[in-house]
């Protein structure tokens, strides 16, 4: 499957380029990114006194306590929609196993050792599922932390555990987030353009996502 990519006749894609992300995919991705960045910075402010200054930068401590949960809902909603758009592309394919096994070669830019990959490579899929499942954990724990006063007193003993899980899960997403931003902005030039303008060069597509390239172009090289 090409993941529902349909280039509309009106979409002008330059020569030697193929469409990588539709407008909807780009829009959801960037709403999600902005929401995540806000949640990251405000969350860190409440996580450690060393980052509490961020609370003042972002409008004041009581203000970020008010908005963090609401922006969390925006984040969840966009993750939900991204899941609807990408769930087929995120399924495992047989080549993924070899890709994961050769992860070291990929990290050392010996890409000739890597098996051909579909629309997303195995690493991107792992990133996606980490964020997807973390989002659910963050949502459930976050709602409880939003309105602890509504919780019966007898259940208050779970609150420290809930907060601990929320923080630990957020840290896992931060690890994934650092790698995601680094990979897209620095390691694979062209990725940011793909997510902003929607298209990539045929060379880029053939090199990084050969199976996807062959599928959408019908070409063999």
Does position 109 bind other proteins by CB under 8 A? yes
Task: Compute how many residues bind other proteins; rule: CB under 8 A.
Answer: 44
Of 3-11, 27-35, 86-94, 142-150, which segment contacts other proteins by CB under 8 A? 142-150
Does position 174 bind other proteins by CB under 8 A? yes
Does position 52 bind other proteins by CB under 8 A? yes
Of 31-39, 93-101, 121-129, 166-174, which segment contacts other proteins by CB under 8 A? 166-174
Within 15-34, the residues that bind other proteins by CB under 8 A are none
Q: Which is nearer to other proteins, 23 or 52 (CB)?
A: 52
Does position 47 bind other proteins by CB under 8 A? yes
* Selected binder of other proteins within 8, 14, 50, 152 (CB under 8 A): 50
Distance CA 173, CA 200 (A): 27
Give me the least distance between CB of 93 and other proteins, in Å please: 21
* Selected binder of other proteins within 14, 160, 220, 221 (CB under 8 A): 160
Say how many CA atoms lie within 13 Å of 190 toward its Cβ. 16
Ranges of H-type helices in the chain:
23-47, 53-57, 61-86, 95-101, 103-107, 122-146, 159-182, 191-197, 202-208, 210-217
Does position 168 bind other proteins by CB under 8 A? yes
Does position 199 bind other proteins by CB under 8 A? no
Task: Tell me how far the alpha carbon of residue 99 is from its chain's centroid.
Answer: 20
List, in order, residues 6 or more apart from 46 with CB less than 8 Å away: 52, 55, 64, 65, 68
DSSP string for residues in 52-96: THHHHHTT-HHHHHHHHHHHHHHHHHHHHHHHHHHTTTTS--THH
């Amino acid at each position: 499957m090409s993941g529902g990519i349909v280039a509309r006749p009106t979409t002008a894609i330059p020569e030697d380029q193929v469409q990588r992300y539709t407008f909807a995919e780009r829009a959801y991705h960037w709403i999600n990114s902005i929401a995540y960045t806000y949640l990251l910075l405000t969350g860190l402010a409440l996580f450690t006194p060393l980052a509490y200054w961020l609370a003042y930068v972002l409008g004041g401590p009581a203000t970020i306590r008010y908005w963090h949960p609401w922006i969390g809902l925006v984040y969840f909603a966009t993750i939900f929609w991204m899941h609807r758009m990408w769930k087929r592309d995120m399924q495992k394919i047989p080549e993924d196993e070899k890709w994961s096994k050769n992860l070291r070669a990929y990290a050392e830019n010996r890409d000739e050792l890597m098996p051909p990959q579909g629309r997303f490579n195995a690493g991107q899929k792992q990133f996606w599922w980490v964020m997807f499942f973390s989002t659910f954990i963050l949502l459930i724990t976050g709602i409880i932390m939003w309105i602890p006063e509504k919780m019966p007193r007898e259940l208050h003993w779970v609150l420290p555990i809930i907060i601990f899980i929320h923080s630990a899960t957020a840290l896992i997403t931060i690890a994934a987030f650092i790698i995601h931003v680094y990979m897209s902005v620095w390691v694979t030039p062209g990725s940011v353009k793909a997510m902003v303008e929607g298209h990539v060069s045929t060379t880029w597509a053939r090199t990084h996502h050969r199976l996807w390239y062959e599928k959408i172009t019908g070409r063999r090289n």
